[in-house]
Amino acid sequence: MNRPMSRKQKLSFRGLVFWSIIALLTLIFIVLVIVRFFSSRETTFSDNLINLKEEQVLNQEGSYYVYVYSRVGVTEHKLELEKAEDLELLINNYITYVKKHSNAKRIYGMVVDSTGAGGSFGNRGRLVFNRDTEVVGASKFDDLWINAEDLPILFVVEGKKVTRAFLTENEIREELGRAMEGETGG
């Protein structure tokens, strides 16, 4: 009577192969889930960029950059989205640079879309379609005039007043490149 209970069960070759395949498939599934999770978490500059609303744009302390951009496009041809995409890596690199160099000028975002992931930033009212971009010298939010065709742009705020503006992709690249090389620019 005790004989069947005392005898150990031997795992057959087919059983070993079956459980090995199950373990391998489980491991592959876990690796795929982890890879997909991390690939979906790629950060963009908009994840790292603090976006300012209306009067906050000119009311930060010290000297800093403001990167004015659209997430969804505001012009008919949406060319500003291509320009912003071309600048995305540079902006991300500059944000990383600022994190590593405490004396570097900070950079903030100014989203001009009427709606966004976080709701309206209230900045769309500064967009114009029938006049040139006029931001240099502005000390109040209501003094900013940004032509939609110029987006994205970068401007420097010093002492709560816009002192310089960079309207083209090349100007933005040169300014942030100089800033990361430690030059003062200007």
17 plus 33 within the same structural domain: yes
125-139, pLDDT tens digit by residue?
777 788 888 889 888
**Number of domains forming the structure of the chain:** 2
81 plus 150 within the same structural domain: yes
89 plus 14 within the same structural domain: no
162 plus 105 within the same structural domain: yes
29 plus 80 within the same structural domain: no
DSSP label at residue 165: E
* Confidence at residue 22, expressed as pLDDT on a 0 to 100 scale: 96
168 plus 123 within the same structural domain: yes
Please say whether the beta carbons of 93 and 85 come within 8 A: no
Whether 14 is covered by a domain: the verdict is yes
68 plus 156 within the same structural domain: yes
> Which residues neighbour 75 within 8 Å (Cβ) at sequence distance 6 or greater?
148, 149, 151
59-112, pLDDT tens digit by residue?
888 899 999 888 777 677 677 777 888 888 898 899 889 988 888 999 998 888
Domain that holds residue 135: 45-181
Sign of the CA dihedral with 170 first, then 58, 75, and 49 last: positive
19-49, pLDDT tens digit by residue?
999 999 999 999 999 888 776 655 555 567 8
pLDDT over 60 at 6, yes or no: no
pLDDT over 70 at 56, yes or no: yes
Whether 186 is covered by a domain: the verdict is no
Query: Closest by alpha carbon to 166, among 176, 178, 179, 153?
Result: 153
DSSP label at residue 118: T
Whether 130 is covered by a domain: the verdict is yes
29 plus 60 within the same structural domain: no
Summarize the confidence of residues 174-183 as an average pLDDT: 86
* Confidence at residue 15, expressed as pLDDT on a 0 to 100 scale: 86
Peptide bond into 152 cis (omega under 30): yes
71 plus 161 within the same structural domain: yes
Chain centre distance of CA 164 = 23
- Note the pTM of the prediction, 2 decimals: 0.69
142 plus 62 within the same structural domain: yes
157 plus 175 within the same structural domain: yes
